[in-house]
Amino acid sequence: MSKGAALGIAGLILLLLAVASVSAGTVSVPIGEVGSALLSKDSPSYFIVHEVRLPRVIVGILAGFGLAVGGVILQSLIRNPLASPDVIGITKGAGFAAAAVLFLFPKAPGYIVPVAAFAGALAAFAALLLLSRRLTLSPATLALVGVAIGAVFQAAIQYLLVTHPTHISMALLWMSGSLWSRGWKEVWSLLPWIVVLLPIAWRSFPQLNVFQLGEETSVSLGLSIVRKRFWLLLLAVALAGISVSAVGAIGFIGLIAPHMARSIVGGRHQWLIPLAACIGADLMLLGDLLGRIIIIPREVPVGIMSAVIGAPYFVYLLRRERKLR
């Protein structure tokens, strides 16, 4: 299969999942009515399609893009297959910071939440670097340190839950990750960041390709290792933090999507980044769709569904790394 065909198939799957997500749910909307509901306010399904499900789908796609591309950059720079925003604690740090703003300053402007999430993600990554002392880590060390950092932020979220019991529903959603009740407010707070950061990530594919060759080769080819690595890491943290600010601490998307894309198109980042983004959005919409239809009328948060899919894959990666070592 050619790289272009793989990207086209992933995009087609994304389109089909988006249509299915708009159509399926507690109140089913026939697929034939989806188009008319989007275009005409006179359609009986206009409100549920345009105001409830469409923004939910868009937020899921954008967050899937951000988490997946953030995972690609982290895995490439650290040269570690287990590096991802959730495994190294970035999503938990971003989730805690965003939740703290929502809990402690509920009347804060909407743009404050993404900024806080970015700051929390940056703090989590800074803690990882401080504890590890170096960027080239063994998979086991990276996983252990990341789990420890994530546990600290998870405990902080639980503390907010105990001290602010009136926000218990919001806290539970942040801890599990969910697209429930996501509307146009979340779309407009997330869209500008993703639209700006994704092209920057893609345009960095020459540097990411060189990083795959190792530090000595990168230096010999004229790449400023420290400066470029810093900015690319900052870009990965920003993508993950902004995504978590909209959907909560959803795990495994940033771990699985890059691996699936790499197994299809290899390590050339000009193809790896867009394909991983599409696969990340596919996984996000698939998890949300299954969570909405599996026990109608109740919903299973997409964070739980992604963990059900991603945990076995994570174990597989650990076993494979152990065999390779």
Identify the structural domains of the chain with CATH numbers, from first to last: 3-307 (1.10.3470.10)
Rounded distance, CA 38 to CA 20, Å? 14
Q: Taking the chain (325 residues) in consecutive chunks of 10 residues, what is each chunk's mean pLDDT?
A: 87 94 84 78 81 92 95 84 80 86 79 82 85 61 79 86 73 74 86 94 87 62 67 87 84 88 89 95 93 84 84 76 67
Q: Which residues contact 224 (CB under 8 A, 6 or more apart)?
A: none
Q: How many CB atoms lie within 10 A of CB 114?
A: 24
Which pair of tokens denotes residue 238?
A: 């920003």
pLDDT for position 173: 67
116 is written with which tokens?
């806080």
Longest dimension (CA), the chain: 64
Name the token pair of 288.
Answer: 């949300």
Q: How far apart are CA 295 and CA 65, in angstroms?
A: 27
Q: Give the pLDDT confidence score for residue 319 in this predicted structure.
A: 78
Count how many Cα atoms sit within 13 Å of the Cα of residue 146 in the half-sphere of its side chain. 23
Cα distance between residue 35 and residue 254, in whole Å: 32
pTM score above 0.85: yes
DSSP string, 164-226: -GGGHHHHHHHHH---TT--HHHHHHHHHHHHHHHHHHHHTHHHHHHHTT-HHHHHHTT--HH
Task: From residue 126, give the alpha-carbon distance in Å to each of 72, 132, 146, 222.
Answer: 19, 10, 11, 27
pLDDT at residue 18, as a whole number: 93
Distance CA 211, CA 234 (A): 16
Q: At how many degrees (to 10) do helices 112-132 and 184-203 cross?
A: 50
Q: What is the pLDDT of residue 139?
A: 56
- pLDDT confidence of residue 199: 95
Q: Which of 253, 301, 302 is nearest to 278 (CA)?
A: 253
